[in-house]
Structure 1
Amino acid sequence: MSIHQSAIAHLFSLFSNDAIEHIQQLPQSGGDRVYFRIFTSTQQTYIATVNNFVKENEAFFYCTAHFKHIGAPVPTIFIKNDEGTIYIQEDFGDQSLLAILEQEGPTDAVQLLYKKSLKALAHLQIKGAVGFDYDNCITSKVFGKQAILSDLLYFKYYFLDTLKLPYDKEQLGAAFEVLSNYLHEADYQFFMYRDFQSRNIMIKNGEPYFIDYQGGMMGALQYDVASLLWQAKAHLNDDWKHDLFKYYRDCVAELLPTPIDAHRFESQYNGFVLIRLLQVLGAYGFRGLFERKAHFLTSIPMALENLRSFMQHYRIGIDVPELEKVLNAITTDDVIHRFKPIRATKETPLVVHIKSFSFLKSGYPKNVSDNGGGFVFDCRGILNPGRIEQHKKETGRDKPVQIYLQEKTRMEEFLAGVYSVVDIAVEDYIQRNFEVLEVNFGCTGGQHRSVYAADALARHLKNKYGVATTIKHIEQNFDN
């Protein structure tokens, strides 16, 4: 067991007498939280979260207790440790609304799940705002002018400026000011979920349940519905967006004591759609262009196409010509194509051969490609888990070693640099129909760091390019 798993097992024992069969680490999301699923002898499962950002955890605890009180579909928190860094909560399973949409397509049953989610959202936003103490928010208490400007600047610095397109900085700044003022004065200020997307809606027994709402604050109702309906990966068609927005507006109208101005409500909604689309591009730019995470890089073209669709069919009700000029410039075919990675096809001859080796035992692998193309990366600058007694007999394919490398070393930073260099070669080789590229990772024993890095690169290349790879771990005597 890793250190985290041991701590989780101890905490669980204080809450339940059920025997733990095993604890499985779950794929990490965009944040720093690490999730585990606890499997017990009674067939019950639980989710354990490890997060050293205590303030974020405290916000989650407060929001959960508050929303539970009004009957919102949020998880039960069973126990947390004294430090507030580990907690165990109800498990809603693996089926998110996005996963069901991707599996089943835009069916009537899926649309019903969206409607259930929107109705529950309206309830959480409006009823949940009553008595809510915004001092418990992680950052801002209100999604006001400063927060809106921050989202716009996030887009500017982490996405727009990376394109190096010409624009009038002074006029764009003025446009940001006009837009933030317009949305800052929006009506219907209640609790704003902030990250209400289909990945954060879990479906269990045909009902929606919400997770990851701890980043919420006071804000306009329309922001959250814009986040859900305009999520790039969901790719909802215009009819669905229109019908679901109207349904949500009706749900809101039922909960408010006075009639709403439908035209104004929709106009402000369009403004928040735009803010959300730009905030997402900023996030994709930061995670993808700066941190070099493949998932976010491949999401950029979808986000740009989403923005282009919005620019073609919707209006925000205010005049911001420089912003419109900039947005039209970044949604051209040329710019979108720039972010679409070259993909291998069935006819692509390239195979990337990836090896791990030991500098002390086998030395540099012999290059067998005709063109001699390839790389050797030295992993010895990364802390060696092999020096720790409990990891000595494990390899880079064992979970405890992987967790150590992810949390205790600069391995992810190292790999981001590797991806940047190797990606250039892979794209060039695909275009030129080269057949072989070799990438080798060496460390002291060829057991921990090099094995982990080789497997990570193979996953990256498969996800981003769909290119064929082989893996050989020389010292471990296993392939694949």
Structure 2
Amino acid sequence: MASFTPLDRLEREHHRQQFIETQFGGIDEIDITAITGDASFRHYFRIQTAKADFILMDVPPEKGSVCEFVHLNEVFAEGGLTVPKVLAFDDKLGFVLLEDLGVIHLADLIESEHREAHYLTLLSWLPKIAKLPVSRWMKEYDSAFIVQEMEIFKSWLLEKWLGYALDDEKAGRWQHLTESLTQCMLAQPQVVMHRDFHSRNVMFHQGEGRLIDYQDAVVGPVCYDAVSLLKDCYVKLPEDEFESLKKASYQQLSSHELLEGIAYEQYVDYFNLTGLQRHLKAAGIFARLNLRDGKPGYLPNILPTLDYIVEAAGAYAEYQWLATWLQSEIIPMVQDKLAESL
């Protein structure tokens, strides 16, 4: 779990106040409120003044750099994506001042009658993201990166959270799974991807969607962002709607010549297996957020994420062992662990 001494907190608060005074020195009344819920080392604050509200991103320099965010904000904006405006930043202190997009996410509109229209609009963003120019701030989503993500599930969810060690047979199967999913993801056309294109990273402000949390954009498999959006760890779409939107994602990517002639059946396989890898990683991250970062609020998302894995793995004879293992051993252990935390 990440920890900070009182001195660390006081020093960070001093730097934050210093940056705010530089931007709003002539304003008497400023209200600063912490915004919770971000699954990263970044912290956010809402700054309210008499005339307007703003968002402050706080990234301690020892934890990371704001340069990726600022640069990629420009890349995404120039590529036709609607993103929050960067109003000021200090890369040495680690602060970015942004326009305030309010509090409404796509996740808050799931029950609205316009839900499908919202999703279709977001799917039209896929080619725009994929065709963004590759930036030096974008890592390559290569085999080492994919394997590292797979290990998050084994290390954080199985070993550290559940206390479960793979026996020799399962370790061999896990190795084969890692290799085959890596091959599947690398076999696809490689494009720019947001990497976390889901319901909590799309804000709705002044009647239109705005994309956030794009600082971890990478170059990787073409269907990854469609998987992130339609097989969301926080929202499960009705089956008929999901199938319709999955076809729409294929049509969007194909019509913009991003699939290199891939037939829909092959796209569905890529989609399913990319989702399998993504959801293994995500389930591991939810456990890591609890253990390392002291954020237990993400634990309830583990079971829905494991359900996605069971569903995808069960559709392929090669991965049926994974579905069976999760259902018979791992999911009951997760249920017991969650019950202990209530």
Name the TM-score class by shorter chain. Answer: 0.7 to 0.9
TM-score by length of 2: 0.85
Q: Under a length normalisation based on structure 1, what TM-score does the superposition of the two structures give? A: 0.62
**1:10-40 CA deviation, whole Å, 9 max, x = no partner?**
23237xx665431111114121111111111
- Asked whether 1:233 is paired with 2:234, we answer yes
Correspondence for 1:115: 120
Determine helix, strand or coil for the equivalent of 1:88.
Answer: strand
CA separation of 1:123 and 1:98: change in aligned 2, threshold 3 A: same
Match for residue 160 of structure 1 among 154, 158, 161: 158
Asked if the contact 2:85–2:99 (Cα under 8 Å) also holds between the matched residues in 1, the reply is yes
Matching residue of 1:89: 98
Deviation string for 1:249-296 (max 9, x for gaps)?
Answer: 222223227655323222211111111111111112222356563212
Q: 1:278 aligns with which of 277, 280, 291?
A: 280
Task: Report the counterpart of residue 17 of structure 2 in structure 1.
Answer: 6
The alpha-carbon distance between structure 1 residues 86 and 180, as it changes in their structure 2 partners (threshold 3 A), is same
> What corresponds to 1:340 in structure 2?
335
Mapped partners of 1:342, 1:163: distance in 2: 12
Higher alpha-carbon Rg: 1
1:330-380, Cα deviation, whole Å (9 max, x unpaired):
123x6434333699xxxxxxxxxxxxxxxxxxxxxxxxxxxxxxxxxxxxx
For 1:286-337, what per-residue CA distance to the aligned partner results, in whole angstroms no more than 9, with x for missing partners? 223565632122222222223223334x44xxx745xx423421123x6434
Query: Structure 1 residues 291, 32: CA separation in 2 closer, same or farther (over 3 Å shift)?
Result: closer
Distance 1:267 1:195 in 2: 20
Question: 1:88 is matched by which residue type in structure 2?
Answer: L
Could you say what secondary structure the match of 2:87 adopts? strand
Question: In 1, are the aligned partners of 2:126 and 2:253 still within 8 Å (CA)?
Answer: no
Q: Give the aligned residue type for 2:60.
A: N
Deviation of 1:96 after TM superposition, in Å, equals 0.9
Q: Aligned partners of 1:114 and 1:20: how far apart in 2?
A: 40
Matches for 1:9-408 after TM superposition, within 5 Å: 9-13=20-24, 20-42=29-51, 44-53=52-61, 55-81=64-90, 83=92, 85-101=94-110, 105=111, 107-126=112-131, 128=132, 130=133, 132-133=134-135, 135-137=136-138, 141-161=139-159, 162-164=163-165, 166=167, 167-187=169-189, 189-256=190-257, 260-288=262-290, 293-312=295-314, 314-315=315-316, 320-321=318-319, 324-332=320-328, 335-340=330-335
Aligned partner of residue 198 in structure 1, secondary structure: coil
**Identity between Structure 1 and Structure 2 (%):** 21
Contact 1:113–1:207 at 8 Å: present in 2 too?
A: no
The question of whether the paired residues in 1 share the 8 Å contact of 2:140 and 2:218 is answered with: yes
Distance 1:259 1:308, change over 3 A: closer
SS in 1 for 2:98: strand
Amino acid at match of 1:122: P
**Alpha-carbon contact 2:195-2:216 (below 8 Å) kept:** yes
Query: Displacement, 1:240?
Result: 2.2
**2:3 corresponds to:** none
Q: Distance in 1 between matches of 2:327 and 2:42?
A: 33
CA 1:268–1:46 in structure 2 vs 1: closer, same or farther (change >3 Å)?
same
In structure 2, what is the Cα distance between the partners aligned to 1:156 and 1:82? 35
Partner of 1:356: none
Q: Offset at 1:55?
A: 4.8
Contact preservation (8 Å) 2:199, 2:229:
yes
C-alpha separation between the residues in 1 aligned to 2:235 and 2:187? Answer: 30
Unaligned runs of 5+ in 2: 1-9
Residues 46, 53 of structure 2: 8 Å contact kept: yes
Shift of 1:163: 3.0
Q: Give the 3 Å change call, closer, same or farther, for CA 248–273 of structure 1 in structure 2.
A: same
> Deviation of residue 75 (structure 1)?
1.1
Cα distance between partner residues in 1 of 2:290 and 2:122: 29
Q: Is the alpha carbon distance of 1:35 and 1:287 closer, same or farther for their aligned partners in structure 2, counting shifts above 3 Å?
A: same
Quote the Cα distance in structure 2 between the aligned partners of 1:60 and 1:325. 40
Please report how far the alpha carbon of residue 50 of structure 1 lies from its aligned counterpart in structure 2 after TM superposition. 0.9
Letter in structure 1 aligned against 2:236: H
Does structure 2 conserve the Cα–Cα contact (< 8 Å) formed by 1:122 and 1:248?
no
User: What is the DSSP-based 3-state SS (H/G/I as helix, E as strand, rest coil) of the residue aligned with 2:233?
Assistant: coil
Pairwise CA distance, 1:46: 0.8
In 2: Cα distance, 1:165 partner to 1:320 partner: 19
What is the distance in 2 between the residues matched to 1:342 and 1:274? 23
CA distance in 2, matches of 1:204, 1:341: 40
Structure 1 runs (4+) greater than 6 angstroms displaced: none
> Which deviations, in whole Å up to 9, do the C-alpha atoms of 1:418-458 show, x marking residues without a partner?
xxxxx9xxx5xxxxxxxxxxxxxxxxxxxxxxxxxxxxxxx
When the two structures are aligned, how many residues end up with a matched partner? 325
Which amino acid is 1:340 matched to?
Q
